[in-house]
Amino acid sequence: MNDDQPNPGQNPAIERALLASCMAGDSSDVHAAAGQGITADSFDDETCRTVWRALSLSVAAGAGVGIDSIARHMVGLAPVEGGTIQALSAISETQPTSLRRHGLTQDVLDLARRRRLIAATGLAARHAYDPSHSEFASAWEATEPHLRAAIDSSQGNRARSLAEMAASARDQILKPDLRPIVSTGFDGWDKAATPSRPGQLIVLAARPGGGKSAFAAQIAHHVATKGNRPVAFFSLEMSGEEILTRIAAHRLYPRAPWDHALAEQLDGLAKLKTLRIFEVEHSRTVAQIEAVCRLMAGNPSGLGAVFIDYLQLITPPSGTRDNREQQVAQMSRAFKLLARTVKAPVFLLAQLNREIEKDEGRAPRLSDLRESGAIEQDADKVWFLYPAKTEIPSPGASVAEVRLLQAKCRGGPPGFEGAMKFHRPQMTFTAA
């Protein structure tokens, strides 16, 4: 390419227009852009990259898309030419409407792909022309990685080389203590059942009223407070108030959850910056959940964990004519891919079918997962919560004996079972 020619992958006006369209709308526009694949690296202009990072942090913190909030979140990021306020004012003055957001998002993604394509093909041509490669085999060996990168430019993720995979596998074998894990708060369970790790899909299933929501909320609270990383909890069944009240009761254990004590705990939870609860309005579809998770994964500290309560309540993709089993299978697969994309464990809650009630006393089986066999195939782990065989149902009992069964574990021990107690007043599980 002639040095006098403009780079077709550079267009700061379009990048500023996308930012302005997001700022002219609301948080949902930022979620949607992130769901389409926009990250800070999608922008070529340094100022636009910094503003997107600040915009993402502001929305992830629940502060919205206002200029004042974005400016506060730009503190500590890379300095911008002309100063923060001047840069934000220049972007907002372009005044595109949020109606253009979808098209502008695609334009920015196309520019980013074009830049990667130009860089990759340029390097490939340089190696192909290099006279030091006297043989074709030598020239091909030097050129092929860049040709592969050119192909990858049309996709959101870069394909890793064999050397990169081997180096990662080597580290996992020789340095197992350095592999990231996500603790559930039950140390004995984590050790025996193998710790949960980023990229895993963990299915937690039970019959209605079996305690899966309370168990998931307890783990989510533990990850958010001990891991110091953002946690996303998508509640399609209960309101945010109900979830927070359960967590507040758990924080009081073993004390009784009196009203004034719960209120104090709720005041403390309001200040917890690492836990985000999304109600059904923001988590009705797979696309909504993916957009939020991608946005939160852009946080410098990463995403700690994702909790989805629960699979069978999610609205299937619009326009699909597949039967229910195929719809659930598509969603299950999407959440497995999401776990790998955001590099965080996804705890996917699910219902057990009624077959288990026909044979009282037996432990659940993988075939008891409701509506689709694909769930067990996609899951890295499957956990079942169910009443202990000796448990006699008693609505007035304050403590229930339950079992936690690991029915599947990819790379670990299946069939491991732990005895637990559920303290109903405090909505808390403890190891028996």
Based on the domain organization, do 131 and 160 belong to the same domain?
yes
Range of the domain at 273: 187-431
* Segment 371-404, tens digit of pLDDT: 667 788 888 999 999 888 755 556 567 888 899 9
* Segment 41-54, tens digit of pLDDT: 999 999 999 999 99
82's tokens: 């002309």
- Sign of the Cα torsion 22, 25, 30, 32 reads negative
Single-letter residue type at 365: R
Q: Using CB atoms within 10 Å of the CB of residue 115, give its burial: 0 to 12 exposed, 13 to 18 middle, 19+ buried.
A: middle
Single-letter residue type at 81: E
- On the question of pLDDT at 123 being above 80, the answer is yes
Based on the domain organization, do 223 and 307 belong to the same domain?
yes
Q: Does residue 123 lie in a domain region?
A: yes
Q: Does residue 175 lie in a domain region?
A: no
At CA 170, angle to CA 169 and CA 171, rounded to 5? 90
Mean pLDDT of 124-132: 92
Q: Does residue 349 lie in a domain region?
A: yes
| CATH assignment of the domain containing 144 | 1.10.860.10
* Segment 307-350, tens digit of pLDDT: 998 888 888 776 556 677 788 888 888 899 999 988 899 999 98
pLDDT at position 259 is 87
pLDDT greater at residue 294 or residue 196: 196
144's tokens: 């092929």
Q: Using CB atoms within 10 Å of the CB of residue 143, give its burial: 0 to 12 exposed, 13 to 18 middle, 19+ buried.
A: buried
Mean pLDDT of 276-290: 84
Based on the domain organization, do 230 and 343 belong to the same domain?
yes
Q: Does residue 31 lie in a domain region?
A: yes
- Domain-ending residue, one of 142, 170, 198: 170
399's tokens: 């403590």
Residue 412: CB atoms within 10 Å: 14
Based on the domain organization, do 156 and 196 belong to the same domain?
no
Q: Rounded to whole angstroms, how far apart are CA atoms 356 and 340? A: 32
- On the question of pLDDT at 74 being above 80, the answer is yes
Residues facing residue 350 across a β-bridge: 205
Residue 204: pLDDT band (50, 70, 90) is very high
Q: Rounded to whole angstroms, how far apart are CA atoms 16 and 24? A: 12
Based on the domain organization, do 262 and 393 belong to the same domain?
yes
- Written in H, E and C, the secondary structure of the chain is CCCCCCCCCCCHHHHHHHHHHHHHCCHHHHHHHHHHCCCHHHCCCHHHHHHHHHHHHHHHCCCCCCHHHHHHHCCCCCCCCCCHHHHHHHHHCCCCCHHHHHHHHHHHHHHHHHHHHHHHHHHHHHHHHCCCCCCHHHHHHHHHHHHHHHHHCCCCCCCCCHHHHHHHHHHHHHCHHHCCCECCCCHHHHHHHCCECCCCEEEEEECCCCCHHHHHHHHHHHHHHHCCCCEEEEECCCCHHHHHHHHHHHHHCCCCCCHHHHHHHHHHHCCCCCEEEECHHHCCEHHHHHHHHHHHHCCCCCCCEEEEECHHHCECCCCCCCCHHHHHHHHHHHHHHHHHHHCCCEEEEEEECCHHHHCCCCCCCHHHECCCCHHHHHCCEEEEEEECCCCCCCCCCCEEEEEEEEEEECCCCCCEEEEEEEECCCCEEEEC
Q: Are 88 and 67 in contact (CB under 8 A)?
A: yes
Based on the domain organization, do 111 and 254 belong to the same domain?
no
Residues facing residue 403 across a β-bridge: 386, 419
* Segment 104-116, tens digit of pLDDT: 998 999 899 899 8
Q: Rounded to whole angstroms, how far apart are CA atoms 229 and 344? A: 11
Q: Rounded to whole angstroms, how far apart are CA atoms 159 and 409? A: 26
Residue among 110, 84, 107, 111 nearest 18 (CA): 107
As for how many domains the chain has, the answer is 2
- On the question of pLDDT at 157 being above 80, the answer is no
Q: Rounded to whole angstroms, how far apart are CA atoms 430 and 186? A: 8
Q: Does residue 303 lie in a domain region?
A: yes
Rg of the chain on CA atoms, in Å: 25
Query: What percentage of the chain carries pLDDT values higher than 90?
Result: 29
Q: Does residue 14 lie in a domain region?
A: yes
| CATH assignment of the domain containing 284 | 3.40.50.300
Residue among 74, 91, 108 nearest 24 (CA): 91
Q: Does residue 44 lie in a domain region?
A: yes
Whether this prediction's pTM lies above 0.75 is answered by: no
Alpha carbon separation from 182 to 248, 304, 385 (Å, rounded)? 22, 8, 20
